[in-house]
Structure 1
Amino acid sequence: MTRPSVSVVVVSRDRPDALTRCITGLSQVQYDPFEIVVVADPAGIEAVKKMACSDDVKVVAFDQANISAARNAGVVAAAGDVVAFIDDDAVPEPTWLHYLIAPFEQSDVAASGGFVIGRNGISFQWKARLINALGHSEPIEVAEDKATVLRAPTGYAVKTEGTNMAVRRDILVELGGFDPAYHFYLDETDLNMRLARAGHATAICPRAQVHHGFAASVRRRPDRAPSDLFDIGASWAVFARKFIVDTAQDAHWKDVQTSERKRLLSHMVTGRLEPRQVRYLMKRLRAGHAEGGVRPVGANQVTRHASDGFKRFPVVARHTHFELSTLRGAAAAREAAKVRVKNAQIVTLIILSRTAMYHHVQFNPAGFWEQKGGQFGKSLRNERIFQWARAKARKKKEMERVAIVRQV
């Protein structure tokens, strides 16, 4: 069976460095055929132009603070059978599309979603979830060694994450794409609800993994404290109008305010917010909700045919290499890793200190994975704090931990 062609849409605004890193990661994805569609502001477009692969990337100019409209612009440009989405502050594992797209071999699968790894590069931020009738997510258990195809129970929808999801292009056209009434937040949740109402199946693919960085934005500071809640309030108002019965909307809004205030107070306790900032943010939440109550709603029409032909990204078959280093030799090891990347290798550099420090993983902008931690420290957060191991044995353990998603 011929593999579906895939268009990977990346929306970027005010984060050119993160976008460059994301595209570097996408350039190592082992799937063919796929294309990269970047929907970006002027700074993002300039960043793409500076990359060696710039001629192989579709670029769509878009300079509005509306992620739904931006994604629709990406869908219009996308010529693949399936459209995948990843955020500009995320990086995929090399096998990402291999696992995310495999379920589409079943004709009844309309969408798929994978697991998302958080800022430490090891722990999962999001796994499998359902959305209930009030728009809140609930975790569910699925097999973690294979994809699970789900049809949500009545009143529920299967949750996919905007930074790690894929949808058949013809289904996106059928549903009208994303609803521009959601400038930010709940945009993919709205699509999930409409997919469920239309009776479509969604696959959850645990091994389709991306690392999500939670980069700073106009709505979120580098320490993850919110800087504005206007769009969150507006999006909840839109969601309620579309999916929550009138008699339950007031109680739902009270619950949202209580939840957001609790979140803000937790930031205040840790010193990330001051009391006056909490009051301001709650005021912005309420102002957004008022505007969301009168915004025009309804999914925007995306074109049945792409605006341009399929721009196949040149996939380089890469070998996987794991390298062990000490802190003292880390600088030289990083330089060697850069050379290996240029020689078509997927490189994981494991830098161990003679400590029990927790492990962290990040994707270096030069194109290699870097894992740092103590030789006796834990990587998975549910492990023992101290683990005796020789350096080579520790390297082998970490290789085995990630091989299924990084080994190609």
Structure 2
Amino acid sequence: MSPRDFSVVVCVYTEERWEDILEAVASVRAQSLPAREILLVVDHNPALLRRLTGEYGDRHEVRVLANAGPRGLSAGRNTGIAAARGAIVAFLDDDAVAGPDWLRHLDKGYDDPRVMAVGGRTLPSWASGRRPLWFPEEFDWVVGCTYLGLPPGRVRVRNVLGGNASFRRTAFDAAGGFATGIGRDGDKRPLGGEETELCIRLARALPHAVLIVDDRAVIRHKVPRARESFGYFRTRTYAEGLSKALVARSVGADKGLESERRYTTRVLPAGVLRGARDFLLGRPGGAGRAGAVVAGVLTAAAGYAVGSVRVRRDGASFDVPAIARADAAVEEVR
């Protein structure tokens, strides 16, 4: 089948990532399957909006937009979706670099008309040059990457991971956009889960929909030194527990925690045993990895417990916007 046209959405929010943003855009412009357009959505930062407009204002394939919704990643993505002209909308993190065949491999997944979303493989690019010895691969999701325990190859999944994902434009027509009230919103706490909630909602709206991951669609996600610390590890796993409580509230615990049950009962115990074995064999970091797995489980469980209490006490407010096709839904700066 002939390639489909892609709109690639990159949500940005801080000038501190200026060089990262330029590198992310350059990696999309260098794709072996060219994107129809790149949409840079700026999250309530007028200075960054002006600077990016000056950088890309004369390049028609790059469009700079202001987030038309409330502060946060979900509203930024929804702004990009509303403005997108392509049949497929792909998402790339602003601190990631796509491999040259990223879009080509995503595109191949859509040869099956049942497929509504295709994700890829995200590899960590550590600022220190290598993985911290104590950091278990089972927890690479902490730094926004594909983690040990996911099946390899091209496989069917419950949800794709938002920093390396694509959807048919019609998926948003059926299920609406990313829910605001879940995920990162400018707060210091690194929440997530918005793509999980959307994918579960999509499967309910279109029961025959298929969602897949193709690990040949590779991007590299930059991990700054601050996120290589055990302190960030604990903060992120706790925040993930809070996020899962919100997702479970939105879509139900059965679906909201379906994949997590297998992960906690099979993948993580194997990780503890692997770390303990490495320690006994005198391999560096084995005890630290085993301990980090246990700590990660405990802090995520604590976050989920606290989040569940808050949801029952205060309720949860989610807004699932319908995505209009009109460009009038966003402000484009030229």
TM-score range (shorter-chain normalised) is 0.5 to 0.7
Aligned equivalent of 1:10: 10
Q: 2:53 aligns with which of 33, 49, 56?
A: 49
Aligned equivalent of 1:77: 83
Kindly provide the CA deviation profile for residues 211-268 of structure 1, in whole angstroms up to 9, marking residues without a partner as x: 011348xxx75647428568545422211212215xx9xxx9xx9xxx9xxxxxx9xx
C-alpha contact (below 8 Å) 1:39/1:71 kept by paired residues: yes
Structure 1 residue 72 displacement after superposition = 1.0
Q: Secondary structure at the match of 1:190?
A: helix
Query: Structure 2 CA distance, aligned partners of 1:282 and 1:149?
Result: 28
Seen in structure 2, the aligned counterparts of structure 1 residues 286 and 6 have a Cα distance that, compared at 3 Å, is same
Aligned equivalent of 1:88: 94
Seen in structure 2, the aligned counterparts of structure 1 residues 163 and 113 have a Cα distance that, compared at 3 Å, is same
Structure 1 residue 35 displacement after superposition = 0.7
Aligned equivalent of 2:197: 190
Normalising by the residue count of structure 2, what TM-score does the alignment of the two structures yield? 0.65
Alignment of 1:372-391 (within 5 A): none
C-alpha contact (below 8 Å) 2:12/2:40 kept by paired residues: yes
Normalising by the residue count of structure 1, what TM-score does the alignment of the two structures yield? 0.54
Query: Structure 1 CA distance, aligned partners of 2:63 and 2:113?
Result: 28
- Unaligned stretches of 5+ in structure 1? 130-135, 143-147, 151-156, 260-265, 271-279, 312-408
Structure 1 residue 89 displacement after superposition = 0.9
Identity of aligned residues (%): 25
Q: Secondary structure at the match of 2:25?
A: helix
Structure (1 or 2) with the greater helix fraction = 2
Q: Secondary structure at the match of 2:110?
A: helix
Query: Structure 2 CA distance, aligned partners of 1:52 and 1:72?
Result: 21
Structure 1 residue 188 displacement after superposition = 1.1
Aligned equivalent of 1:28: 30
Structure 1 residue 165 displacement after superposition = 0.8
Aligned equivalent of 1:331: none
Seen in structure 2, the aligned counterparts of structure 1 residues 289 and 60 have a Cα distance that, compared at 3 Å, is farther
Kindly provide the CA deviation profile for residues 351-382 of structure 1, in whole angstroms up to 9, marking residues without a partner as x: xxxxxxxxxxxxxxxxxxxxxxxxxxxxxxxx
Q: Which has the higher contact order (CA 8 A, sep 6+)?
A: 2
C-alpha contact (below 8 Å) 1:20/1:48 kept by paired residues: no
> Does 6-15 or 198-207 show the bigger shift?
198-207
Q: 1:212 aligns with which of 217, 221, 224?
A: 221
Q: 1:296 aligns with which of 317, 325, 329?
A: 317
Structure 1: which amino acid aligns with 2:322?
Q
Aligned equivalent of 2:65: 60
Q: 1:240 aligns with which of 240, 248, 272?
A: 248
Q: 1:117 aligns with which of 114, 123, 131?
A: 123
Q: Secondary structure at the match of 2:196?
A: helix
Between the two proteins, the alignment pairs up a number of residues equal to 266
